[in-house]
Amino acid sequence: MSDVIREILQTTAFRKLDVEHLLDSSCPSWVRFDTELGYVPNSIVMRDGIDDSFSTYTYQPTGERKMINYVDMPCRISTYGNSFTQCQQVSDDETWQERLAAHFGEPIRNFGSGGYGVYQAYRRALRVEQGALSVANIILNIFSDDHIRNLDAARWIRTAWYEKDWPKERAHQLHGLPWAHVRYDLEKNDFVEKPGLCSSQEELLALCDPEYFYEVFRDDQIVRLFAHEVGGEADCEDLQELAERFGLKVNLKDPSTRREDAYRLHNEYGLRSTMFILDKMRQWCRQNSKRLFVILSYGTYSVPGMTGLVDYLSRQIRWDLSLIEYLRQHDVPYVDLLDKHMEDFRQHNLSVEEYLAKYFVRPAEAAVFGHYNPLGNLFTAFAAKEALVSWLEPKPPAYRKT
């Protein structure tokens, strides 16, 4: 096994200080440990908002973020997804769900969780929709990085590697804990669902031993792929075969192209996993008389191979056209915030950076990257408004003829 994998894993092993902080109910933590989903959001106040302000996150015992508008009315819309669904870095009444609810005249539940991929959001929807909060209308919010999160056994390995120079003297807000995920099974020639690796708090604490952490993840397929992305090398026969199944020409053994090829494979792998999950989610919705709507969100700057808003607004390039084609082919109603931002940007006399500064806040606290500020969440709400009004039956109270 390559030296780079040992370095990655022993560097990113969970710290006992952080895990004990997470598991101690008396300590403020933005999430709580969950054996299936890795974690679920927790009430907290963090200094991560606009102008270095404090954001208030309040969660009900049933798991949704606190609703402000029309809480005394029946709810028929729930939202699932990532930090752009949760609306990280703003307070409870500044989310796009609350802006939409205020305008529509009816409540909207927010089950978003920072760091989730599409699969984790889907699994959370399955759990919630079995109970008393079941609704007829599901909004799934997909962020551009969510696709590869579907594949992670523990996303922490990738994010902590890039943040390894953080100050070590205090506890950090954890995320990316081991969770249920999907992988492509070459023998079955299809994606398969895999459970999380930690069925108890004790098993999570055990991963604080760097040597044990290394033994658990040393052969992990995504860890080996990530090793190529950071300039190393690792066993890649199965990855090469995977690329062939996806119709990609890559050569992970060639040092001159290894990193670029690894990114291309990782991103294609992620997109295909999202389409697999959407197949399952569409079937689940049909079987349970539910309707599905998708909102596509994007960050400001790109990560390798993934277009961000800066790239799209300045050069009109994107990387996820196959997902757009999937949604169209299967008649899944959606809103594409790349296009919505382009329409809005053309109405401003600003540089790309000046334009995005209106809507985004810098990363802070548990945020790995910057999120929408309150104005950005208002933009999201009204970018999706027209399509959602057309989709909902009956129409929201604000749009019903009396």
Q: Which CATH class is domain 3-396?
A: alpha beta
Residue 276 pLDDT: 98
Q: Tell me the per-residue pLDDT of 290-304, one tens digit each, with 9 for 90 and over.
A: 999 999 999 998 666
Residue 2 pLDDT: 63
The count of residues in the chain is 402
Has residue 269 got a pLDDT over 60? yes
Q: What integer is the mean pLDDT of 182-190?
A: 97
Phi, psi for residue 364 in degrees, rounded to 5:
-160, 155
Q: Tell me the per-residue pLDDT of 13-67, one tens digit each, with 9 for 90 and over.
A: 999 999 999 999 999 999 999 999 999 999 999 999 999 999 999 999 999 999 9
Has residue 389 got a pLDDT over 50? yes
Residue 1 pLDDT: 47
User: Omega before 394 cis (within 30°)?
Assistant: yes
**Residue 172's pLDDT band (cuts 50, 70, 90):** confident
Cα-atom radius of gyration of the chain, to the nearest Å? 21
Domain extent listing, the chain: 3-396
**Structure token pair of residue 50:** 């606009």
Mean pLDDT computed over every residue of the chain:
95
In Å, what is the CA distance from 254 to each residue of 218, 232, 234, 248?
Answer: 22, 11, 12, 15
Residue 303 pLDDT: 67
Residues 6+ apart with CB under 8 A from 113: 31, 37, 39, 40, 41, 81, 82, 83, 85, 86, 120, 121, 124
Residues 6+ apart with CB under 8 A from 272: 184, 191, 246
Q: Tell me the per-residue pLDDT of 108-130, one tens digit each, with 9 for 90 and over.
A: 999 999 999 999 999 999 999 99
Has residue 305 got a pLDDT over 60? yes
Q: What SS3 class is residue 306?
A: strand
Residue 288 pLDDT: 98
DSSP per-residue string spanning 32-54: EEETTTEEEE--EEES-SGGG--
Residue 402 pLDDT: 66
Residue 47 pLDDT: 96
Q: Taking the CB of residue 50, how many other CB atoms lie within 10 A of it?
A: 17
Q: Tell me the per-residue pLDDT of 187-205, one tens digit each, with 9 for 90 and over.
A: 999 999 999 999 999 999 9
**Residue 363's pLDDT band (cuts 50, 70, 90):** very high
Pairing of strands 77-81, 137-143: parallel
Has residue 165 got a pLDDT over 90? no
Are the beta carbons of 2 and 234 closer than 8 angstroms? yes
